[in-house]
Amino acid sequence: MEPTRDCPLFGGAFSTILPTGAIDVSDLRPVPDNQEVFCHPVTDQSLIVELLELQAHVQGEVAARYHFEDVGGVQGARAVHVESVQPLSLENLALRGCCQEVWVLSGKQQVAKHNQQVAKEVTLHQALLRLPQYQTDLLLTFNQPP
């Protein structure tokens, strides 16, 4: 198992555990203030932690699908396909006291990188944590390129 390190997020508001070699993308390029982005130095896998405005007009599984499709739109995906959406039990979650519901989604998107023309199929795994008392949707996206 790869060694890990504790990594503060959003100025220390909370933290996560990452592999020691994970690269903070904000050291390489600008990252929006509502995101923390990390990538693996060899595999191109990435983890994006986003604090988003609560989308109160969508609930449950529909909310998970909404955010997946929104990410696809932002990335200019040529195709998006949801493979599975499941609720996650709050029992073992550190944020269970403030989290209303959690959904886990897996899917694929056809996406071209920044300066490339050819789109590649990328597998995405997302976890959506709904935090209505903070008017926030916390979205974790793990990108697994081919």
Please write the tens of the pLDDT for every residue from 49-86. Answer: 999 999 999 999 999 999 999 999 888 888 899 999 99
pLDDT at position 114 is: 67
| Model pTM score | 0.92
∠ Cα 38 43 48 (to 5°): 25
CATH of the domain at 43: 3.40.1000.10
Contact 46, 31 (CB under 8 A): no
**Domains held by the chain: number:** 1
**Burial of 139 by CB count in 10 Å (0-12 exposed, 13-18 middle, 19+ buried)?**
buried
Domain boundaries, position 29: 4-144
pLDDT at position 107, please? 96
Q: pLDDT tens digits, the chain, 146 residues: what are they?
A: 678 899 999 999 888 999 888 999 999 999 999 999 999 988 889 999 999 999 999 999 999 999 999 999 888 888 899 999 999 999 888 877 889 999 999 999 998 876 777 888 999 999 999 999 999 999 999 999 87
Residues with Cβ within 8 Å of residue 98, at least 6 apart in sequence: 131, 133, 134
